[in-house]
Amino acid sequence: MQKKLLTASVMLALSTSVWATTGMQLEGYGTRSVGMGGTGTALDVGAAAVMNNPAMLTESLKEDGDSMFGVGLTILSPDITSSVPSYGVSTDSDGTAYFMPGMGYMRRDGNLVWGAALMAQGGMGTEYGRAGMGDLFSGGLSMMQQPVPLSGQEVRSEASVGRVMFPLAFQASDRLTLAAQLDYVWAGLDLQMDLDGNSFVDFANPQLQNMGVASGSMVNGFLQLVGMGAIADVNWARFDFSNDSDFTGQAFGTGFGYKLGFSYKASDRVTIGGFYHSRTNVSDLDTNEASVSFNIDMNTPQGVANMTANVDGKIIVRDFNWPSIVGVGVAWEATDAWTFAMDVKRLNWSEVMSDFKVSFQADGSQADPVGAAFAGAAMDVTMFQNWDDQLVVNLGGEYRMTDALKLRGGMLFASNPVPDEYVNPLFPATIENTYMAGLGYQMSESSEISVALAYAPEVDVTNTLTGINTTHSQLNWHFQYGIRF
């Protein structure tokens, strides 16, 4: 059981970037959007429209020369527990607060609205610390099926994705707005993770490879040494690349994407909107400050000797990208007090999450004498993912209680895109439905503060290959201040 546990742990720990409610996508962007169930395709959500439908910016700024500036903060608070009840092992993640800031400035000149915004696409991670007795990561099985302790070092993951966006919205007529937007995207990943020896062999042995494939000169060297009898057993392997930043990971890459959108006033009270987000073209995430370690039992003339090989080198996470998204929505101002909105979106996860590829290139010289045997060696790992595309439905409403105070509520319905056999305790992207509420308060004619709360009930999933049970819920806070001038 533990060997499968560790296989799954490394597989998805390396494969996932950031996630929240819908796979790796946050439940909404901007407090009005979140408060109204994540809607925004046909709804005025201020500068946060750059994360959904930039055509709605002309609804925020209606007069020539109008400008707006906003700042916001999202606090993502997951509650994750993973266990194998039949074995009596369980681990809680101490990663319960992830902070994602944002800001934006927009201006209208004639029929054009333009500007720039910086926002976190999302962020997530787990903090398991050093494994103690009864933890999932305390031990596993060696290549020879012997119970073994693992490294005893820190086990954690942290991922981040953010965007700097440059929208241009053109009001073609009193009713129609068209928009195009260029996004500069960055992504980062930290990982400190153990893999037991039996799982390593599952990747390396062509007759197994149930969850992925490992190849390259480093793997071939191991198999040759095993075949020659030089290596009696492989106890564990470890991936380690991490920094101290809360916003960028040790493995880092950048790229671009674009968005297209439209909005149409079907009547004075009904707005229809739609958008297309391109698949990003982020460069490979890489770092030269990485290491792979192996704990092995070597056959020597004096007998079996246990030793650890620490190999420094470069990690490359290949072809990690955000998927294309398409959506339509409608907003209805039913009365002067009531507004309702609905969005339908399709997230095309299958185009970026069919599998995951990571490479390790060892440095030509190694400080560790044992690791020197692998100087210059390479390892390529392909991990199967097979995520499903995802349909998301957002529903929300707003009640203008007074001229200053607005009350909001809504909900999001979505399926879990991750097949059960690939659900992982480090990145259990399993949240399905989310319930949201919020309020906005007009402090003056030009400024407003607002807050929104999103609650995702606990989802209980058991990996069909490993038997690992993971429960996951979220309580996320969103804060925003905006001023128009």
Q: Which tens digit of pLDDT belongs to each residue from 313-322?
A: 999 999 888 9
pLDDT of residue 123: 61
All structural domains of the chain with their residue ranges: 2-484
- Across 431-454, average pLDDT: 93
pLDDT greater than 90 at residue 64: yes
pLDDT at 23: 65
Q: pLDDT at position 139, please?
A: 83
- Per the model's pLDDT, the better-predicted residue between 447 and 418 turns out to be 447
Q: Can you tell me which residue has the tokens 């599952």?
A: 202
Q: Which of 207-216, 276-285, 458-467 has the lowest mean pLDDT?
A: 458-467
Residue with tokens 């185009």: 351
Q: What is the mean pLDDT of residues 94-99?
A: 82
Find how far residue 104's CA is from the centre of its chain.
Answer: 22
- Separation between Cα atoms, residue 300 and residue 294, nearest integer Å: 17
- SS3 state at 58: helix
pLDDT of residue 124: 67
Residue 283 has pLDDT above 60, yes or no: yes
Average pLDDT over every residue of 27-43: 95
Is the pLDDT higher at 342 or at 467?
Answer: 342
**Cα–Cα distance between 376 and 394 in angstroms, integer?**
51
164-208 pLDDT per residue, tens:
999 999 999 999 999 999 999 999 989 888 888 888 888 888 888
Its pTM stands at 0.87
Phi-psi region of 203 (alpha: psi -120 to 50; beta: other; left: phi over 0): alpha
Q: How confident is the model at residue 422 (pLDDT cuts 50, 70, 90)?
A: confident
Choice between 244 and 444, residue whose per-residue pLDDT is larger: 444
For residues 440 and 72, is the Cβ–Cβ distance under 8 A?
A: no
Quote the pLDDT of residue 10: 34
Region 211-217: mean pLDDT is 88
Dist. CA 159–CA 202, nearest whole Å: 26
The answer, yes or no, to whether residue 459 has pLDDT greater than 90, is no
Phi, psi angles (nearest 5°) of residue 408: -135, 155
Average pLDDT over residues 41-52: 95
Q: What does the DSSP assignment read for 317-371?
A: EES--PPPEEEEEEEEE-SSSEEEEEEEEEE-GGGT-SEEEEEEEE-SS-SSTTG
For residue 329, give both structure tokens.
């929505």
Summary count for the chain: helices (H), strands (E): 5, 24
Q: Quote the percentage of the chain above a pLDDT of 70.
A: 94
Q: Which residues contact 304 (CB under 8 A, 6 or more apart)?
A: 232, 297, 298
| Mean pLDDT of the 223-231 span | 87
Task: Dig out the tokens for 56 from the structure.
Answer: 């709605």
Q: At what angle do helices 2-15 and 197-204 cross, to 10 degrees?
A: 60
- At 198 the three-state DSSP class reads helix
* Cα angle: 179, vertex 454, 476; to 5 degrees: 100
Q: Which two tokens stand for residue 100?
A: 């994602």
128 vs 268: which has the higher pLDDT: 268
CA angle in degrees (0–180, nearest 5) for 339-51-118? 125
Per-residue pLDDT at 12 = 30
What is the reported pLDDT for 6?
38
pLDDT at 417 over 70: yes
For residue 473, what are the contacts with CB-CB under 8 A and spacing of at least 6? Answer: 78, 79, 431, 455, 456, 457, 458, 459
Q: What is the pLDDT of residue 297?
A: 93
> pLDDT tens-digit profile of 239-249?
999 987 767 78
Burial class (CB in 10 A: 0-12, 13-18, 19+), 77: middle
Residue of higher predicted confidence among 132 and 412: 412
Largest CA-CA distance found in the chain, in angstroms, rounded: 88
Beta carbons within 10 angstroms of residue 432's beta carbon: 16
Amino acid making up residue 69:
F
Check whether 4 has a pLDDT greater than 50. Answer: no
CA distance 427 to 92: 13
What is the distance in angstroms between the CA of the first residue and the CA of the last residue of the chain?
A: 61
Domain 2-484: which CATH class? mainly beta
| pLDDT of amino acid 227 | 85
- What is the rounded average pLDDT of the residues 257-270? 97
> Is the model's pLDDT at 385 over the cut of 80?
yes
Task: Flag whether pLDDT at 311 surpasses 80.
Answer: yes
Q: Per residue in 329-384, pLDDT tens? A: 999 999 999 999 999 999 998 998 888 889 999 999 999 998 898 999 999 998 88
Question: What tokens appear for 194 in the block?
Answer: 């153990």
* Residue pair 51/32 in contact by the 8 Å Cβ criterion: no
Mean pLDDT within 292-312: 92
Q: What is the mean pLDDT of the chain?
A: 88
